Structure 1
């Protein structure tokens, strides 16, 4: 049996985002059969009709959705605008458990919405101020993107995480509140979330933890409180703080990756965090830590309630 030359011997042209487009490949003399064979043999993966990524490109979920959105916008023959989850990844909005299954776009008109296997096309008239360019692509503004998501997610914590992130990126809270006055679906939950939003929350995990505290009517903490030692030197900046009596810390994957120094592994970060925690304890407060699975299993709130009672902030 004679095998045809393997597609990996072909140099596929990529754009600055690492995407291989059918149109560009054909201009370089690569045939549709060669592209199809590269997909079948696992050398390319199709991310959009007419757009591919080399199999050597490994991306996390939101990064993959970003390049898929870029491919969709590049291949589009209409003036559709990136929106909802797709606009969020272009803006760099942090989301809590986002649905990344389809690319989202707005028609900019009152009609034309539809859903297919690749895309969710939303109808809706857009004002000029509702559209900005992100990476050269028309995208719903940061404020409108946050509102679209918050009104559609159906869960308080997810809406809170979106608004926290939007404020962190500089979104106008008053403009979002005014825009919500003109909305109908999902507006009650979105208003409640915006009323509790805080740009000091650094990631979706921190937002989710605070969301659980809000729902359970627990005393709310100061966020990102800085602790100094007796000489006035920096000791730590803590995720949550209750009156200097109790400190709460969310330990997430993103946080630990952020704390990694060149040449370090996670073990080094864990050791350094333990020393940091001990230094905070020496200044007086109790320290409670939790991780993602504690939030998923709903075990953080009982522990936190007990600790708030122990330090006298919450009555038993």
Structure 2
């Protein structure tokens, strides 16, 4: 199995430097030149190497900020929301937030500042778990919170992933995913009405058959554009006794989302060169066309662009069954209608 763990960057605490007699002031002085010794300040008294920070992805940066926060608090920190999602390996569509999200408790007077959004939520002990070095809300509770508070498309991407049989946490450990009915039952029983309608919509729409955040985004856009709902990962028989599984299938067309990960990330490439993957994709598309349907292909850029995705699907013969929820605004940008 491919190791998909994502580790935070190594950090240095000035308090640790002082304990062993080192001069911590050198960390706070701007370096004369850039290079391996340059540091990036995460928060007061916490630093990481600047060149590693510059090349890190957003999720790694978020986890590193969490290390900085946890290491400068006297009490244990329970991470919630997007920060818990980072630990559980749940995807986020859009930018990861600059501030980490942590649990303050319902009666605490602590205020959000210094890179921490403190949430005054009531979370039962049985909804808090230890995952590696982290204390986080459970998969189910994290998904429910994201469904309440995140934009619909990002919530759907996290739910599509978290509703699978298993999820792989940032430390590489494998855990059981949540179940849709469990989330829906929890929302119905919760007396807190804030965000409930939004959460119900996202959870009801979620489908663990979506295999990537790009497919989740595409499905949301397809729905908003008024196209017929597709089948996901349907089974299409091959002449050699095997089967192909297109990302989307309609009455007259198949749909394929082409994300960069398919050609670059180890968990997808399995050691194969990109040229081999491209060739296999072409052969797969040829096999699908033999079933008498068109094949529509699109990328992240297409999925983010409603009129472009609409044109691609219409050209492939996908049927629009209702009025689109998108419309151009005064600046010509397509927006979701209220």
| Structure 2 length-normalised TM | 0.78
Q: Distance in 2 between matches of 1:279 and 1:85?
A: 41
Whole-Å Cα distance in 2 between the matches of residues 206 and 26 of structure 1? 49
Partner of 1:95: 92
CA distance in 1, matches of 2:111, 2:317: 49
Q: Deviations over 1:256-298 (max 9, x none)?
A: 223435373x455334422332232234331101111112221
Q: Does 1:280 align with 2:288?
A: yes
Q: What's the offset of the Cα at 1:16?
A: 8.4
Change (3 A) 1:113 1:239: farther
Could you tell me whether the CA contact under 8 Å between 1:73 and 1:82 is conserved in 2? no
Aligned to 1:74: 71
Residue 7 of structure 1: aligned partner: none
2:223 alignment partner in structure 1: 214
Unmatched tracts of structure 2, length 5 or more: 1-6, 168-176, 323-338
Residues 129, 135 of structure 2: 8 Å contact kept: yes
Alignment partner of 1:150 is 2:157: no
Q: 1:252 to 1:120 in 2, by over 3 A?
A: same
Residues 113 and 256 of structure 1: is their aligned pair in 2 closer, same or farther, counting only changes over 3 Å? farther
* Structure 2 residue aligned with 1:174: 181
CA displacement at 1:230 relative to structure 2: 1.5
Would you say the 8 A contact 1:105–1:119 is kept in 2?
A: yes
State whether residues 214 and 259 of structure 2, in contact with CA within 8 Å, keep that contact through their aligned partners in structure 1: yes
Aligned equivalent of 2:331: none
Correspondence for 1:134 among 123, 131, 136: 131
Report which stretch shifted further, 178-187 or 288-297.
178-187
Question: Which residue does the alignment assign to 2:249?
Answer: 241
**Is 1:227 aligned to 2:236, yes or no?**
yes
2:278 to 263, 270, 281: 270
How far the C-alpha of 1:306 sits from its partner, in A, is 4.4
1:119 counterpart = 2:116:
yes
TM-align CA RMSD: 2.6
Q: Secondary structure at the match of 1:303?
A: helix
- Cα shift at 1:191: 0.4
Indicate the residue corresponding to 2:209 in structure 1. 200
With over 3 angstroms needed to count, the CA separation of the structure-2 counterparts of 1:132 and 1:295, relative to structure 1, is same
Alignment correspondent of 2:39: 44
Aligned residues: 295
Report SS of the residue matched to 1:225.
coil
Q: Is the 8 A contact 2:9 2:48 kept in 1?
A: no
Provide the C-alpha distance between the structure 1 equivalents of 2:194 and 2:32, rounded to a whole number of angstroms.
43
**Stretch of structure 1 that moved more, 37-46 or 299-308:** 37-46
Note if contact 1:218-1:305 (Cα within 8 Å) is conserved in structure 2. Answer: no
More helix by share: 1
Structure 1 residues not aligned, in runs of 5+: 1-14
Map 1:22-41 → 2, pairs under 5 A? 22-37=14-29, 41=33
SS at 2:223's partner residue? helix
Match of 2:4 in 1: none
What CA distance in whole angstroms lies between the structure 2 residues aligned with 1:67 and 1:112?
26
Q: 1:99 and 1:56 mapped to 2: Cα distance?
A: 20
